[in-house]
Structure 1
Amino acid sequence: MQSKQFDEVVVEVKHVSKHYKIAGREDSVKALNDIHLAGDSELLPIRRGEFVMLRGPSGGGKTSLLNLLGTIDRATEGVIELFSNPINVDSTDEYLAKLRLEKIGFVFQTFNLLATMSAFENVELPMIILGKLNEKERKKRAIELLTLVGLQDRLDHLPSELSGGEQQRVTIARALSNAPEILLLDEPTGDLDTKNTVEVMDLLLDLNLKLKTTCIMVTHNPDIECYADRILYIADGVFEKQVFNTEQTRLDYDEYIAYLNSQAGH
């Protein structure tokens, strides 16, 4: 696989902390503590087209960080810069909502598809909300995206008529509907079996390489680290280390199953 060239910085995290107040407790819970991903640190900022994985124990701060990057939550201290624009206390809800709609795609472990809408309608909806495309353009793009994720023959199916792997593909197509610059993924394979895990990861790698979409993904699964350019390990609200892969590689399903079976015997 060709080595990628990274230049433009799309995410910088400058001395960010996140504390939560819990009812009945004096002290606050520190979810993140002085997280720093910037040009002046050993832990580099995230660049356009990079595939970054966040790994670490439950409660370590992975999802808290992802929520801050997606502007779903706000930092207690520090600044997050997306596309060179700081997100801080002055950022209005309207501005952040527009930013999410136009530039950030979300994929969660639970598929969060609208149950009464077909695959096609689920993918079309963010385009309707954004309002940039007319009906004909929206239809064309929704079909293209569902084709891209291998579901061109499932356009009219409701989520309940799709398998878990197919639902996650619809979710990925929906996340891409407004051509986001960043895709945020929180345990996207967490509810999938091994076959669908490999298929969804292969799909995400294809999207990362073809569309140059920046991917930031939280996962508990160490076996899929091979798909990333870089893995950041986070525990107790701080970064412990970063590891770079010299190249992104795919899991071979048959070899992977054989490996899993051999581990099960131990």
Structure 2
Amino acid sequence: MTVPAIVIKHLRKEYHLPDGEVITALNDIHLSDDSDFDPIGQGEFVMLRGPSGGGKTSLLNILGTIDTLTQGNIEILGHQIDNRCTDRFLSNLRLRQIGFVFQTFNLLSTMTALENVELPMAIANELDERQRRERALELLAMVGLRDRVNHLPSELSGGEQQRVTIARALSNRPQILLMDEPTGDLDSSNTIDVMDLILRINQQDKVTIVMVTHNPDVECYANRLLYLEDGVIVKQAVNKIQVPLILQDYQRYLSSKDQ
């Protein structure tokens, strides 16, 4: 039986507007052994799909502990997360066990690719300068950017910037990687490169991945799809075909769309 990485129980998220209106972004999200939808297992690749405004990003932000829940609780890697958790505990969890990749890259413009990747390690302060440099070079080589380490973000293409972002997210060896539209600003060719990289991280390093996307073309990469609508999980789909067996067909399909 797969060990759970993320368990969600009766999660509700409300936003209270200044005029008194209450907007419910998430309503009774339940991923648990006692629900219709299983917990997210360690090493699983889950995609969140559904229309805009359905609650996907709200759920991702709560899983990343950068937003708070209104009711319910979640368990991340055995840690209970609720409104009693201190900011210090949550920031430490984010720094060491959760990696983030967003559509807009969020790289520091005055830092080189190498410096951007080194930054989370410097904050964690667990490696010396030489070790941080070696780790950053190793990660940039892994994402295919060994020859771009001294380039600023403005000197990199969109696909290259996203790969730097992924390398940075992996710098402190997180067990969970959260991604919000990581290919949203990329063309088909770069989408393939980035998705292949994400899949390799998931399958080789057993990193648990939760990814929000509006792109149906990348669904084949995931183990499981959860569809959110109006703040509720309305259905799920499980990919029974092993992803590596269909990647070449997928790449040919995207190439044909660009022609």
TM-score bracket, normalised by the shorter chain, equals over 0.9
| SS of 1:202 mapped into structure 2 | helix
TM-score by length of 1: 0.94
Superposition deviation, residue 90 in structure 1: 1.0
* Among candidates 225, 247, 251, match of residue 250 of structure 1: 247
> Residue in 1 aligned with 2:2?
7
Q: Quick one: which amino acid aligns to residue 97 of structure 2? A: K
What is the CA–CA distance in structure 2 between the aligned matches of 1:54 and 1:66, rounded to whole Å?
9
Number of equivalenced pairs = 255
> Residue in 2 aligned with 1:55?
49
| SS of 1:153 mapped into structure 2 | helix
> Residue in 2 aligned with 1:84?
78
What is the CA–CA distance in structure 2 between the aligned matches of 1:117 and 1:233, rounded to whole Å?
38
| SS of 1:39 mapped into structure 2 | coil
Q: Deviations over 1:24-64 (max 9, x none)?
A: 2x330000000000111110000110000000000000000
Q: Deviations over 1:195-234 (max 9, x none)?
A: 1011100110011111110000000001100000000000
What is the CA–CA distance in structure 2 between the aligned matches of 1:239 and 1:253, rounded to whole Å?
30
What is the CA–CA distance in structure 2 between the aligned matches of 1:163 and 1:210, rounded to whole Å?
26
> Residue in 1 aligned with 2:165?
171
Q: Quick one: which amino acid aligns to residue 195 of structure 2? A: M
> Residue in 1 aligned with 2:186?
192
- Shift in alpha-carbon separation, 1:260–1:55, aligned structure 2, 3 A: farther
Asked whether 1:35 is paired with 2:29, we answer yes
Where do 4+ consecutive residues of structure 1 move more than 6 Å? none
> Residue in 2 aligned with 1:264?
none
User: What's the Cα RMSD here?
Assistant: 1.1
- Percentage of matched positions with identical amino acids: 58
TM-score by length of 2: 0.96
- Structure 1: runs of 5+ lacking an equivalent: 1-5, 262-266
Contact 2:188–2:258 (CA<8 Å) still a contact in 1? no
- Structure 2: runs of 5+ lacking an equivalent: none
Q: Deviations over 1:78-115 (max 9, x none)?
A: 00111121111110000000000000000000010000
> Residue in 1 aligned with 2:234?
240
* Among candidates 9, 13, 22, match of residue 17 of structure 2: 22
